[in-house]
Structure 1
């Protein structure tokens, strides 16, 4: 028995990522491939909704919104802004969940943004299946792939070559110190703690509160210290170094 499903697609993510990978998705008939892929997996796709700022540059010039509509895809125009597509997706999902599409069993979300985690948790709390589709180049893939009930790579669906990314390691005090030493060797200058945290977040399966906890432990053990430093005539108080 097929599962009644709707696809919610962060089209800005798809288009930007495919541009970076030099993939021309319309030549690949990507909507047809998405439909075929999920049909073969036992899903009945009732709707596909694509969210983007269709006024942006080449997307507007190349008439992406019209192309998608011609392929049977509903489009939602979103204003510029980091979270505009996420907010629009969340509004539509909740409307369908509680009001207009209570018979939908499965919500398929194509996105590279881990900010949708609360939405996924809400769907799962209502006993809905969540299928999450991400790109292998997404830096948060190892976190995001565990959010949904099922995960697929977008590259797999549209049948382009890809390499399965390596799983991020777990951060601990030893790896924290090593990374700090390596960063100093690379830069040969003062290390800004906030920027250091961002580099760790990309490389390890961690979050800011965990990193802060490891830092505090290393400080208490006399392994590292925070310090002031000057850069371009300004004084910064969030330097960090190995003692």
Structure 2
């Protein structure tokens, strides 16, 4: 018997659970895993809804990748967004629960099974509501990251087995590209009014010959070490009126050592921008 199925993905929860085990989940791997699971269980996927804060460095360009595979993405900004933006804790959880309940109440006959990709115990009331309406629920999470109250509904065995049994790729060492990365960003900041995050990532990728994943790792490392700051910047010329920019920490010893006297030109740029 073929069952109509709808999937809801708490992408940050799944991504983080795997990342903590040393694996970086890509849109391609996630979609392949969902499709294989559906085929194995004779499910027909009616729709996939995926929720994440796509402003996170880790998810750079992933929203487009998901949209190309007909996934309905929901960008939900949260606690890792711009420093000046108010926190929205559990924002993705709330959005997912509201949309899932709307579909449950208005399109009940269009599906037989809910696939819920998360390990977060906050979704237990949703699971109970779906079951109360006579629908089957399968919770898919990362082993070791599934809340104990969701365990009775878990069907996670072997879901990511192919990914987790693959040999891990050689680890990228962000430290080796730090000095060159500082120089690349300094050059951009000497020639542009400001360096938007997208422009910075593209330049780093091109000049370092680095992959998207490696650039993400490099920026994460630079942010963690205080070499780089991210900030929301107002620009009336943009449709949304603002963008995220990267700023070198001119007080950091490594930045000072790499840039030398050129650091004063960057400092003047920052003063003109009003970001110092």
> What is the TM-score of this pair, normalised by structure 2?
0.52
User: Tell me, what secondary structure is at the counterpart of 1:160?
Assistant: helix
Kindly indicate whether the alpha-carbon contact (under 8 Å) linking 1:110 and 1:133 is maintained by their aligned counterparts in 2. Answer: yes
Runs of 4+ off more than 3 Å: 153-159
Report Cα offsets for 1:100-144 as digits up to 9, x if no partner: 35321100001121011111111111100000111112162x331
Equivalent residue, structure 1, for 2:38: 38
The 1:3/1:157 distance shift into structure 2, 3 A limit, reads farther
| Structure 2: runs of 5+ lacking an equivalent | 79-87, 167-276
The 1:158/1:128 distance shift into structure 2, 3 A limit, reads farther
Kindly indicate whether the alpha-carbon contact (under 8 Å) linking 1:134 and 1:145 is maintained by their aligned counterparts in 2. Answer: no
Q: 1:113-152 maps to which residues of 2 (within 5 A)?
A: 113-138=120-145, 140=147, 142-146=148-152, 148=153, 151-152=155-156
Kindly indicate whether the alpha-carbon contact (under 8 Å) linking 2:2 and 2:42 is maintained by their aligned counterparts in 1. Answer: yes
The 1:158/1:73 distance shift into structure 2, 3 A limit, reads farther
Equivalent residue, structure 2, for 1:241: none
Equivalent residue, structure 2, for 1:160: 164
Q: 1:43-192 maps to which residues of 2 (within 5 A)?
A: 43-59=43-59, 62-80=60-78, 81-138=88-145, 140=147, 142-146=148-152, 148=153, 151-153=155-157, 155-156=159-160, 158-161=162-165
Aligned length: 157
Distance in 1 (alpha carbons) for counterparts of 2:7 and 2:27:
21
Distance in 2 (alpha carbons) for counterparts of 1:49 and 1:102:
18
> What is the TM-score of this pair, normalised by structure 1?
0.58
Q: CA RMSD in A?
A: 2.3
Distance in 1 (alpha carbons) for counterparts of 2:121 and 2:136:
18
The 1:126/1:42 distance shift into structure 2, 3 A limit, reads same
